Amino acid sequence: MFSPIVITTINEKTEGICRFEQITPCPIIIVGDKKTPRYETTDRIEYLGVDEQASLGFSLADRLPFNHYCRKNIGYLHALRKGAQTVYDTDDDNLPYDDWSFDDFFASSVYSEAQKYTNVYRRFTDAFVWPRGFPLDEIRRGQNESGERPERVEIGVWQGLADGDPDVDAIYRLVLAEPVTFDRKPPVALPRDTYCPFNSQNTMWRREATPYLYLPVTVSFRFTDILRGYVAQRLMWEQGLHLGFTRATVYQNRNEHDLMRDFTDEIECYRDVRGIVDLLDAMQLTGSPTENLLKVYTGLIEANYVHRDELSFVSAWIDDLHTITRQQDA
Q: Is the pLDDT confidence value at 78 over 80?
A: yes
Q: Is the pLDDT confidence value at 35 over 80?
A: yes
Nearest C-alpha neighbor of 217 from the set 62, 57, 323, 11: 62
Task: Spell out the residues 6+ positions from residue 271 whose beta carbon is closer than 8 angstroms to its own.
Answer: none
Report the pLDDT averaged over residues 71-98. 97
**CB–CB of 313/217 below 8 Å?**
yes
**Share of residues in the chain with pLDDT > 90 (%):** 89
Q: Is the pLDDT confidence value at 81 over 60?
A: yes
- Beta pairing class for 86-90 and 202-206: antiparallel
Task: Spell out the residues 6+ positions from residue 90 whose beta carbon is closer than 8 angstroms to its own.
Answer: 5, 6, 7, 16, 20, 200, 201, 202, 203, 250
Query: pTM for this structure?
Result: 0.96
Q: Is the pLDDT confidence value at 115 over 90?
A: no
- Position 157 scores a pLDDT of 98
Residue 325 CA neighbour count, 13 Å, CB half: 11
| SS3 label, residue 21 | helix
Q: Which structural domains are found in the chain, ordered by start?
A: 5-329 (3.90.550)
Buried b (16+ CB within 10 A) or exposed e, 267-282: ebbbebbeebbebbee
pLDDT tens sequence across 172-231: 999 999 999 999 999 999 999 999 999 999 999 999 999 999 999 999 999 999 999 999
Nearest C-alpha neighbor of 158 from the set 272, 273, 3, 17: 3
